[in-house]
Amino acid sequence: MFKDFVEQHRDTMISTLQDVLRIESVKGHPVPDGPFGTGPAQALSYMLKLAYDRGFVTKNIDGFAGHVEYGEGDEYIAVVSHLDVVPAGDGWSHPPYGAEIDQGKVYARGAIDDKGPAMSTLWALFAMKEMGIQPKRKIRVIFGLDEESDWQCMEHYFRYEPKPIGGFTPDASFPLIYAEKGLTTVRIDVAADADSMSAQVLKFEGGERFNMVPAHAVAEVDCHSSTAANEFALKIRKSAKDAQIDATVETEDSIVKIRVQGVAAHASRPAAGVNAVVHLAHLLGTGTVSNSSMWRTVGSWDTAGRALGIDAEDDETGPLTANLGRAQLVDGTYQFYINIRFPIRMTVDQISQGAQTYLSDKWQVSIVEHMPPLYIDPASPLVQTLMGVYAAHFGDDATPISIGGATYARAIPNAVAFGALFPQREDLAHKVDENWAIDDFLTCVEIYAEAMTQLANTL
């Protein structure tokens, strides 16, 4: 139904996709009209102006979020995406904000998570208007700017705007996500052993975001003499080689500096990455350093939560996952932030109490953030309508799935995640060389235009 529109506007659609991907929309310090920094504000401004210039009603809610609106009526269907991105990191083969196209794929941070899919929903709305489709209910394409951090954007937006009767977010995978694990981040504090006669850890830090597997970690250790430092460095190098850990070890007088390189990945799939913080803790645990038992414990932490005594699984959403996303030594206290995605039949109290019981009394466990699980009945009109749209395009007998990620489907009632990653495609969200196939982007415009039309006429 929308294929001809996509073919006619193909070049312009690709150009606008590249434009928004070139904006470095990482959360930063607040600026006027930009509570999340200059980059996210610029990305929102670009999207709203693109729609306004095509005659759409747009609204910017104090720089926290904004929407593009089409149709009439009080009730509306929402399509919610986000324009903020996680930091790019190092090691890209293409500039992370260059939006270069290579072999049919556009390379950029945010290509698939979530600026690319956001652009596809906007063009889907453009297609509906140009083709003269008049939906039964109003449709809003809503853009948030703080999804990768604290979701303050959605909290602020719905403080002033009514909630929809249903909708979807293009921020996961096809065919459709009907259940999302619960999410919590726990912080574990351990006092530094300042009186130890062993080598003293002066600095320890790694990770940038709770929801990313940390790709870098660094420690500085005072060995009290240059001779002891050289011996310690030799031992750490051997331990790194034996454990196949990518580490750089340098000495300067009595100080040993250790840098560990890991592999970034999304925290909902921590096994896909290599956790630099855990590896660094393992190396420190092989030496005679302050807080030696702590390092051995942290170095054993796994992605299933077994080493914390919280591993669990259910039939709907599968096993719990745990990601040590950030760690630091601050004012004499080690702080470890673990991002946990847990089955829908588990509670956050079970997690915090289970971890506290499993660990030493010297370890203090607290909750930093918490989102309850999401579950939408697969037989609901919402799921059945969207699955029908998917089947019409791909003609397969796919069934809805569950994930460990937390999407904006939780921000509105009666909502699920619908795309944008196609089956059998590699998930590069939060990874180096994130990219999205141009043909998939264009197909999503067709899918989302049909999905918006049917939802607005069905729910």
Domains of the chain: 3-179+375-458 (3.40.630.10), 183-217+261-371 (3.30.70.360)
The pLDDT-based confidence of 396 (bands split at 50, 70, 90) is confident
- Catalytic residue from among 24, 84, 114, 434: 84
pTM of the model: 0.78
84 carries an active-site annotation: yes
Distances (CA, A) of 214 to 87, 202, 211, 263, 278: 11, 20, 9, 7, 9
Average pLDDT over residues 30-39: 97
Residues 6+ apart with CB under 8 A from 349: none
Residue 14 has pLDDT above 70, yes or no: yes
Give the position of tokens 């992605």. Answer: 303
Distances (CA, A) of 3 to 41, 56, 315, 439, 446: 32, 22, 39, 12, 6
Cβ-proximal residues to 64 (8 Å cutoff; 6+ apart), any chain: 35, 36, 144, 145, 146, 152, 153, 156, 157
Residue ranges in 321-370 assigned as alpha helix (H): 348-358
Rounded average pLDDT over 158-186: 96
pLDDT greater than 80 at residue 197: no
- 3-class SS of residue 257: strand
Place of tokens 């690319």: 116
Q: What is the mean pLDDT of residues 36-49?
A: 98
Residues forming a β-bridge with 370: 184
Mean pLDDT of 214-233: 96
CA neighbours closer than 13 Å in the CB half-sphere of residue 217: 33
pLDDT at 150: 86
CA-to-CA distance for 43 and 181, rounded, in angstroms?
A: 29
Q: Is 59 exposed, middle or buried (0-12, 13-18, 19+ CB in 10 A)?
A: middle
H or E element that contains 169: strand 166-169
**Confidence at 79, pLDDT banded by 50, 70, 90:** very high
Instruction: pLDDT band for 35, please (50, 70, 90 cuts).
Output: very high
Q: Do 245 and 238 touch, CB atoms closer than 8 A?
A: no
Tell me how far apart the alpha carbons of residues 112 and 428 are, in angstroms, rounded to a whole number.
Answer: 8
Q: Which residue, chain included where needed, has tokens 């104090």?
A: 62
pLDDT at 68 over 70: yes
Q: What is the DSSP string of 258-296?
A: EEEE-B--BTTSGGGSB-HHHHHHHHHHTS-BTTHHHHH
Check pLDDT > 70 for residue 17. Answer: yes
Instruction: Kindly name the residue from 147, 220, 434, 450 that is annotated as catalytic.
Output: 147
- How far apart, in Å, are the Cα atoms of 102 and each of 197, 322, 439? 56, 35, 13
The confidence score (pLDDT) of residue 420 equals 97
Of 203, 331, 210, give the one whose Cα is nearest residue 268: 210
| DSSP string for 120-158 | HHHHHHHHHHHTT---SSEEEEEEES-TTTT-HHHHHHH
Considering only CA atoms, which of 235, 276, 229 is closest in space to residue 253?
A: 229
Rounded to whole angstroms, the Cα distance separating 92 from 136 reads 46
pLDDT band of 195, cuts 50, 70, 90: low
* For range 144-164, the mean pLDDT: 95
Question: What share of the chain has pLDDT > 70, as a percent?
Answer: 100
The CB density around residue 403, as the number of other CB atoms within 10 Å, is: 20
pLDDT at 360: 85
Share of the chain above pLDDT 90, in %: 90
Task: Indicate whether 443 pLDDT > 80.
Answer: yes
Report which of residues 439 and 193 the model is more confident about.
439
Q: Is the pLDDT of residue 313 over 80?
A: yes
Give the 3-state secondary structure of residue 201.
Answer: strand
Which pLDDT value is given to residue 266? 87
- Average pLDDT (431-442) is 97
* pLDDT at residue 320 in the model: 96
Task: Find, among 239, 174, 218, 207, the residue nearest to 390 by Cα.
Answer: 174
Q: Which of 62-76, 178-192, 395-409 has the lowest mean pLDDT?
A: 395-409
Q: 328: which 2 tokens? A: 């630091």
Q: Residues 121-138: what's their mean pLDDT? A: 97
Query: Residue 395 — pLDDT band, cuts 50, 70, 90?
Result: confident
Annotated active-site residue 147? The verdict is: yes
pLDDT, tens digit (0-9, with 9 covering 90-100), for 227-285 = 999 999 999 999 999 999 999 999 999 999 999 999 999 898 999 999 999 999 999 99
Find the mean pLDDT for residues 336-360: 94
- pLDDT higher than 80, residue 179: yes
